[in-house]
Structure 1
Amino acid sequence: MSFIVVILVLNLQSLSVFAQHGYLHMDRCYADVSTFLPVPFNTMNYTCRPVWNTFVLRFSQSNDNIMTFVLSAVYTSGWVGMAFSKDGMMVGASAMVGWIGKEGRARIDQYYLRGFTPSEVIHDKGELQLTNIPPAVVLHGAIIYLAFQLKFQDPPKSQPILLAFGTTTPVHHRLSEHDDKTTVVFNFSEGSPYGHRKYRRTSLRVLERNHGILAITGWGLLLPAGAIVARYFRHRDPLWYYLHTCIQFVGFIIGLASVVVGKVLYDRLEIDLPLHRDIGIFVLVLSILQILAFFLRPDKDSKIRRYWNWYHHWFGRLALFLASLNILFGLENVKASNTWRISYAFILAIIFVSVVVLEVLLRLRKHEKSLRDASMFGS
């Protein structure tokens, strides 16, 4: 069967593997945390900012100097922590650290960072004044959320914050040495109002929608259609060639537009989606090589034409496979609605059915031709 059929099967298998490794669930500042965080943390009235790597900080402040914090990060194992420091140094800071125990129990505790060794990280000590609202830890997909409230004498403005994580799960509340850490000076007074965040979320969703429409139209519909024309309509020479060239050119332009919109979206999100981004860039490079191959195509009688055909066919097939995979990957990244999923599934089904029917017709034509040739030589 045609390579496109293989694409459909491998896409689903590869997407399942990526999902198992947790690459598909990156936190966004417009993620609706109200659907899974407990009371009173289940609100959208947060100022939200990416702060480091996959770490995202949400916070809100009440009139009585009580601040609510929700720290999130990609999580597989170990612990995640956020410390408040007076001078930006680790020693003397107080931290809130959360993790999921080996038995599946969520834990969050305060620690006093008296020194650099694990024995000097003191459990259930510190200078942070917690309210009577119990802190909470929630694992949602591949993201861990640490939610807690602190009481301040004066509202913090510019505050040194230490962020760190370790991949070893704490035993008896004893933290392992961190795998990585950073210090940021966070300005709480520059928080964006909720209305602005709502506008930003809407703007980003529009970009996501446009990115998806362009990607599905260019990479997921037109380019496979052009490949189908090239494989199954060569008996309509030279019509197949002109159709193939025009369809692929239009598909490439629309696909290129999707990459441009994706770059804008990536810059505004400030959250790295390395796999989705890298696959998209690689597909774009393969497509550009296909364009160059068009201008460097040797004559049919050339000795290297056979090798050019191999290059053009297999690089094109690889580009289509990765592009369709990346579309599925992108739909999962943004937790697309059923409408998007059904729409793309319908496109894949149409391509699948078309390939099956056309492949059967192609083989029948070849069989009839071989019979005619055999009878002609036989006579």
Structure 2
Amino acid sequence: MTPKAMDAPAAVFRVADAWRGAWMGPSLFRRGGSTLHYVGPSSAADSAGVVDLPGVLLPGFTDHHVHLKLLPADALEPLAAGGLSRVIDLGGDPSTLAVLAEPDPFAAALEFAGAFLTAPGGYPSDRAWAPAGSSREVASADDAELAVAEQLAAGASRIKIALNASAGPVWDDALLAEVVAEIRAAGLPVVAHVEGAGQAARAIEAGVDVLAHAPFTEALPDAVITQAVAQGQRWVSTLAIHEPADQEIAIENVRAFRAAGGELLYGSDLGNGEQPLGLNPHELTALADAGLDETAVLRALVGGFGRGRWKKRVTWMPDRPVAITDMADAVSLSVGDLEAAGR
């Protein structure tokens, strides 16, 4: 097939079902350039000029935590075949990620945070798995300003900071506040890796927007979780990467976070250990174990309520999922190549 993006001909498509925060039943969509627009319910009378597509359509799925430089060089195309329309790299050399992020109609779209910003000698600067350029040590407020500017210049859409007291030094509260302020001044959201006693609470107190992992080293007090939810903080799941004891802590924290109204995002930490290039059925199973139903998992996959993310790539499935793990059968298709659905 030959995916198209901007020059695809206008067309109206009919599908047996579509998900937009809820299942809509038989639906019509109109393609305009690289965007698919929901028209409304379909009936048997809709036939003239309508292209019938098998299966069901959903917004593009996102893995909100990957590390592309720990994967094969050509991983973005198989990620689309594995059901991902977009991936967010949360720690890698910004210059190489900027090249990988160039649009490719065959591949999943890439957004990235650039290098981990960390304390001198902090995680992951001393880790053998961390490629050169994947961390940037920050020793002062002036250094933070420069480090943020470097990631921004490379095209970072968010900035990731490391607060891993289990693996090395972390900033004191004053410098943490300065780093977060510099990222805010650049207009970017702040993502934090938190690990070790008290580090999640510090990130929440500092106003971090997203935790790169659901906290897994300690059960968080209700007051801390309530504060995170009140601030609109979101957590990326990454439940399946943990050993059983840490996974159980993370799952319990997720249950409490969601009960308080918190929003979870699907993320696998792809590149960490052996994982499929695409949706990970083990992560989907862990989300179900944490109490997420089908709607909650789909919201975690699309990063919201499903009324957006119909641009450039969308999700196609042969049928509505019966079980949450059926979502691993999804395929990402270019909006310009919808006619290939099911082939």
TM-score, with length taken from structure 1: 0.23
Higher gyration radius (CA): 1
Structure holding more helix per residue: 1
TM-score, with length taken from structure 2: 0.25
